[in-house]
A and B are shown apart, each in its own frame.
Chain A
Amino acid sequence: METRTFKVSYSPHIHNGSSTSKLMWNVTLALLPAAVISVYAFGLNSVRVLFLSTFFAIFFEALALLMRNRNWKQCFDGSAALTGFLLGLTLPPGVSNGIIILGSFVAIIVAKQVFGGLGSNPFNPALTGRVFLLIAFPVPMTTWPLPRGIEQAKQFMGLATTKVTDAVTAATPLAAIKEHAEKALPNISTSDLFFGLHTPGSIGEISAIALLVGGIYLLVRKIITWHIPVSAILTVFVIAMITHFINPAKYPHPFFHLFAGGLIIGAFFMATDYVTAPIWPMGKIIFGIGVGLLTIIIRLWGGYPEGISFAILIMNATTPLLDKYTVPSPFGSKTMRRPS
């Protein structure tokens, strides 16, 4: 017979052995397929970006912990590494080293440690770093080197590629649509977007299938719940379907919006951040719908080609309110009305 010892104390009595650090490393593991694809597509450049952003995120975390008189070894708990890794995945492969280091600085120091470290930050640190860089350096942050197989990529985009110094660059699918939808739309195939081997874009966003594999891993391991990703992606899908139905020449079909840009990495890996997302199921669904709505509105009618980072940051601001108003009522808590 199995014997188990129970502590005589308040619940919980049984612990499954999970910890913050294990969760963080699991999420990092789930991002690895996307990273591997990016190394295939962009070569050593993507290794450089990912290594620098992760290394300096951990470095700044240790620095901030030292300045706050905390145990600096906490910097290895995986949260800083995950923030740096996510930040690296949202950058274009050609950015300079200084920009990457500044992004890690903003993500860890300004967005996280200034507010009190892990668990206290109101906004997703990696996305704050990315948006800071996007506003600070608009040109390098929107210069997209082409992946391998330049010829296929040229055909794929169907657009004039410009030669900048020594790298060949092109617009991302979303940027191409934004500029002249009628010309670019027929040249983009959904399967290319799905596998992402010939698509210009941020390091981690190019391959939808790799991200989906990671996302499903997280769902299976119960690290995230389905609420936020499904509601966000479904919202984008439905609105894209309606607009595509109204004017197919101008608005791309819904699968384009699903697989292009950062919707999948954002919905699965960033909007579900434990610290900055709501905790109750209802709140998560409202949060996800908000992310989806803002994303597709910015994509279709906004000033930027891609809106997922802004959408998640804006919805992060609503998290305390959603947490307050969507608390589920416990079973049996409703007062029964007596039959009179």
Chain B
Amino acid sequence: MRAFKEFSKGFWRENPSLVLLLGMCPTLAVTTSAFNGLGMGLATTAVLIGSNIIISLIAGFIPKKVRIPAYIVVIATLVTLVDMFMAAYSPDLHSALGLFIPLIVVNCIILGRAEAFASRNNVIYSFLDGIGMGIGFAVTLFIVGSVREVLGNGTLTVFQYKETIIQYVIYHKEAVSPALVFILAPGAFITLGFLLALKNYIDNLLKAK
């Protein structure tokens, strides 16, 4: 069952945000709302799947010394595609994520998986690794974004496409004033820190069993 193992390791055991601590820049910067986090996670997943497939196919042809520039070219091509797709089909999200879309190029998850996994494994495993890691990343960003949005703004935006917005109001701003700090940068660090602690706590509980 190696295929399932490669697929599922990104969810929990090797979760890119919570265990590998890769891609901290988007994790902290764009998770101001749940949907922003999800959108960023899905964009990264798309790039990650594509780059894992392509790099595992061409890894044999690339000279060892220039492999990083070659990987970056592949990743940059895919990121440009995602950037243009997003600008065309979801301009709201595109403007919310802003600069962080082009920055997916230098996201360490993608380069890290290319270097550590895709260049050493075959296409099928690399594809599964890309999906698993991408979903793990997207779900983590969604959770970080949800916590920050609920605490900092009192709402939970699950979906946003053109005029369709699915947004739940958790509590009213007039009744309970939200803690603005969670929308700002310090809130991202505090939220991520507590999520990390929670994950390690659960791991310890599972280990003790």
Chain A residues in the interface with B (C-beta under 8 A)? 98, 102, 110, 114, 132, 135-140
Contact = CB atoms under 8 A, between A and B. Distances in A.
B186 to A, nearest CB: 7
Given A135-B186, A138-B180, 12 more contacts: A114-B193, A132-B186, A135-B181, A135-B184, A136-B179, A136-B180, A136-B181, A136-B182, A137-B177, A137-B179, A139-B177, A140-B177
Nearest to B182: A136
A297 to B, nearest CB: 21
Interface of B: 176-177, 179-182, 184, 186, 190, 193, 197
A139 B193 CA distance: 27
A242 B200 CA distance: 54
A121 B42 CA distance: 37
Contacts of A140: 177
A140 B173 CA distance: 13
Contact of A102 (B179, B186, B193, B197): B179
12 contacts: A110-B190, A114-B193, A132-B181, A132-B186, A135-B180, A135-B181, A135-B184, A136-B179, A136-B180, A136-B181, A138-B180, A140-B177
A220 to B, nearest CB: 39
A110 B192 CA distance: 12
Residue from B179, B184, B197 with most neighbouring chain A CB atoms (10 Å): B179
Contacts of A139: 177
Nearest to B193: A114
A139 B190 CA distance: 22
Nearest to A135: B181
A109 to B, nearest CB: 10
A110 B187 CA distance: 12
A135 B186 CA distance: 9
